[in-house]
C-alpha cells in the first residue's frame, strides 16, 4: 500500500496535474483533449491551453471580445463553445471574423452589443471593405454590412423591376 511520502507525492501530482498538462489554472477540468471553462465569470480567454486541445467550452462567461492570437497555437482545435457571452461586435472583432472565415474551427457567436447588432450571428455579418475601421472602437454601424440588409435591398430591387415590367406590359398592350 502507498503511504507516507509516496502517497503525499501522488496527491501533490494530482493537484498539479492541470499545470503539468498545461491546462489554464482558472478552468475546472481538462480531460483528454477537452478543456472546460464554462460558467466561471471569465471576461477574457485564458491562455496556455494544451496544444492538442480539440474542444474548449467557454460558454456562460462575460467574454466580450476575442483576439485570434490566443487560438492560433491550438492547431488541433475543431470546436470552440463561446455562446452565451455578451459579445461586443465592434471593430475589435474584425480580426476574429477574418480568422474564423479562414479556419475550420466551429464557433457560434451572437452579438450582444451594439444594440443594432444584438442577436445577430457574427458569421452572418459581412465585412464592408471600404468601411473605415482604423480605430478598434469605431462605430460598427459604419463598419459592418448586415447580410439581411443586403437581402432586403435585393428583394426591393427585384420587386421594383417586376413593377416596371408590369407597367411596360400594360402601356404597350
Find which of 1-10, 45-54, 116-125 is predicted with most confidence, using mean pLDDT: 45-54
Task: Name the pLDDT band for 59 (thresholds 50, 70, 90).
Answer: very high
How far apart (Å, rounded) are the C-alpha atoms in residues 126 and 150?
10
Number of domains in the chain: 1
Structural domain including 59 reads 15-172
Q: Sheet harboring 106-107: ordered strands across?
A: 29-31, 34-36, 55-57, 79-81, 106-107
Q: Tell me whether residue 7 is in a domain.
A: no
Q: How high is the pLDDT of residue 15?
A: 43
Closest by Cα among 159, 129, 120, 128 to 145: 128
What CATH number does residue 64 fall under?
3.80.10.10
pTM for the complete prediction? Answer: 0.63
Q: Tell me whether residue 59 is in a domain.
A: yes
Looking at the predicted structure, is the pLDDT value of residue 41 above 70?
Answer: yes
Torsion 34-38-41-43 (CA) sign: positive
Amino acid at each position: 500500500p502507498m503511504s507516507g511520502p509516496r502517497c503525499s507525492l501522488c496527491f501533490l501530482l494530482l493537484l498539479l496535474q492541470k499545470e503539468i498538462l498545461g491546462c489554464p489554472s482558472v478552468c475546472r477540468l481538462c480531460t483528454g483533449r477537452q478543456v472546460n471553462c464554462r460558467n466561471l465569470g471569465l471576461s477574457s480567454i485564458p491562455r496556455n491551453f494544451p496544444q492538442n486541445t480539440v474542444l474548449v467550452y467557454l460558454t456562460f462567461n462575460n467574454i466580450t471580445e476575442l483576439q485570434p492570437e490566443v487560438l492560433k497555437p491550438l492547431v488541433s482545435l475543431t470546436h470552440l463553445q463561446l455562446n452565451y457571452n455578451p459579445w461586443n461586435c465592434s471593430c475589435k472583432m474584425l480580426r476574429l471574423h477574418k480568422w474564423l472565415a479562414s479556419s475550420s474551427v466551429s464557433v457560434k457567436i451572437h452579438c450582444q452589443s451594439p444594440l443594432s447588432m444584438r442577436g445577430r450571428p457574427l458569421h452572418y455579418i459581412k465585412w464592408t471593405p471600404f468601411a473605415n475601421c482604423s480605430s478598434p472602437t469605431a462605430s460598427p454601424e459604419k463598419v459592418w454590412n448586415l447580410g439581411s440588409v443586403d437581402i432586403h435591398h435585393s428583394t426591393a430591387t427585384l420587386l421594383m423591376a417586376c413593377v416596371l415590367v408590369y407597367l411596360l406590359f400594360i402601356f404597350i398592350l
